[in-house]
Structure 1
Amino acid sequence: MSIFNLKEQFAFYGSYHHDHRNMWVHIVFVPAILWSFWVMASLLGPLPGVSMDGCLAQTLRHLGFEPHLPFFMLVLYVLYYLVLDFVAATLYLPFLLTFYYTSTSLAATHPHALAIGAGVHIVSWMAQFYSHAVWEKRAPALTDNLSQALLMAPLFVFIEILFMLGYRPRFQAEVEALIESRLQQFQAAARSPTKSAKQ
């Protein structure tokens, strides 16, 4: 499954987030995980090998950025999302920039930024694991596709919101058909050990 195949990737993600309650948990807490990670990562300072007196650092600072991990993650997310879905990525860009500036600003100014970032991060992960266990009755997608959980989930929860607003209905129908197929395969696989045990 190519990381640039939006339909297949979204269907895989959707098969783990089919229950509407779990979906809303992720809509709230996936951005919270990204934001809180950027808070903590900002506290580490610039990436190794990046001189604060160098041209790169000076240029980034002039543009309102810092040469740390959150900035390079932001660039990666934006470029990757633009390839996956240009319109959705463009609509999501203001949110990503808001996450970036608020998280890095908190890290730079608040004396308890680490505690806040760590607290939000832990609570957000706990909420997602709980919702998977209780409502989806299966492990989170990160156990099968770590890159999707870390890289694609923020865009996917945003596209879920866009779907609610009528975005790309044909694409949504195609994805939902794939999700239903994946769910049937999962349910069949879950039943088969029980049948074997009875035999």
Structure 2
Amino acid sequence: MPHVREWELDHLDQQPVANWGTHCHEDDQSKTSSRPRERNPPSKATRGRQAGKQATNPKGAMAKPRGGGGGGLLDLEGHYAFYGAYHSNPVNVGIHELFVWPIFLTALLLLHLTAPSAHAAGIGAAVYGAYYFLLDRRAGALAAFLCFLCWAASGALAARLGFSAGWKVVLVAQLFCWTMQFIGHGVFEKRAPALLDNLVQAFLMAPFFVLLEILHTFGGYEPYPGFHDKVSKLIEEARKEWEDNKSKKSS
């Protein structure tokens, strides 16, 4: 057996260790290079804006409009708060409870008398009734039934009165009911009607608003628990905003 020098044994023992260390170093470099580069951290200004948004609108929830009714076509809270912001005086609300549905009835009578299609009044009543039912099934079902009664009554009146007398009934009823409502706004509410700000929303929501008011006043009805408290806060905020804007304009 050939003689192996001691220094050669040491060299053989150290070579695998050195190679293993080299491979480990190369593996670490490959892992480091394969990692995705981290994005630059957001600046202080960006973090401040994000924190402000979270504080203003927690949990990413969409803030509801202040009585503007802009939360969607079926946003009952928004529509009710929008209309309620113009009808907070009890006397004005009572006037509307008396005269809004007669306006709806005589409007259908006018359609029976003048519309080119014999089904125009029925379509109008069906649209209103279906919309109220989608807003709230319980009160909406009652509102839809009232729309049907108004359609049936207006059709009977149109057949009985004819055009010559029917249009006079429509004219007198519309003038009287609208005059009373304008008195309610000018004398008691001291604010212009909602139709001056949103004509379509005011006409569409008025009959259902007064029905909900009557149901709540005499039966404590709410579409769901806590509805009245929520819309009362929205109405109060909208009224305060209107009063602040009014005071700024006058100053």
Query: Deviation at 1:193?
Result: 2.1
Residue of structure 2 equivalent to 1:10: 80
> Structure 2 regions of 5+ residues with no counterpart?
1-69
1:113 aligns with 2:166: yes
One-letter amino acid of the counterpart of residue 85, structure 2: S
Count of matched residue positions in the alignment of Structure 1 and Structure 2: 176
Larger radius of gyration: 2
Residue of structure 1 equivalent to 2:151: 100
Q: RMSD value over aligned CA atoms? A: 1.3
Asked if the contact 1:35/1:100 (under 8 Å) is kept, the reply is: yes
Asked if the contact 1:40/1:118 (under 8 Å) is kept, the reply is: no
1:177 aligns with 2:236: no
What TM-score do you get using the length of structure 2 for normalisation?
A: 0.67
Q: Report the Cα distance in structure 2 between the residues aligned to 1:132 and 1:45, rounded to whole angstroms.
A: 31
1:144 to 189, 197, 214: 197
SS of equivalent to 1:97: helix
1:157 aligns with 2:210: yes
Per-residue CA deviations over 1:45-71 (Å, capped at 9, x if unaligned) read 552xxxxxxxxxxxxxxxxxxx42210
Query: Deviation at 1:94?
Result: 2.6
1:27 aligns with 2:108: no
Residue of structure 1 equivalent to 2:119: 68
Asked if the contact 2:101/2:207 (under 8 Å) is kept, the reply is: yes
Cα distance 1:45–1:138, how it changes in 2: closer, same or farther (>3 A)?
closer
One-letter amino acid of the counterpart of residue 105, structure 1: A
One-letter amino acid of the counterpart of residue 212, structure 2: I
What TM-score do you get using the length of structure 1 for normalisation?
A: 0.84
Residue of structure 2 equivalent to 1:166: 220
Asked if the contact 2:126/2:147 (under 8 Å) is kept, the reply is: no
Residue of structure 1 equivalent to 2:42: none
Q: Report the Cα distance in structure 1 between the residues aligned to 2:226 and 2:177, rounded to whole angstroms.
A: 32
Asked if the contact 1:107/1:114 (under 8 Å) is kept, the reply is: no
Per-residue CA deviations over 1:139-197 (Å, capped at 9, x if unaligned) read 100011111222111111101111111112510111111101111111111111233xx
Query: Deviation at 1:105?
Result: 0.6
2:175 to 118, 122, 135: 122
One-letter amino acid of the counterpart of residue 140, structure 1: P
Query: Deviation at 1:136?
Result: 1.2
SS of equivalent to 1:138: coil
Asked if the contact 2:126/2:144 (under 8 Å) is kept, the reply is: no
Q: Report the Cα distance in structure 2 between the residues aligned to 1:140 and 1:194, rounded to whole angstroms.
A: 20
Q: Report the Cα distance in structure 1 between the residues aligned to 2:116 and 2:137, rounded to whole angstroms.
A: 30
Residue of structure 2 equivalent to 1:57: none
Higher relative contact order (CA 8 A, sep 6+): 1
Q: Report the Cα distance in structure 1 between the residues aligned to 2:121 and 2:87, rounded to whole angstroms.
A: 27
SS of equivalent to 1:110: helix
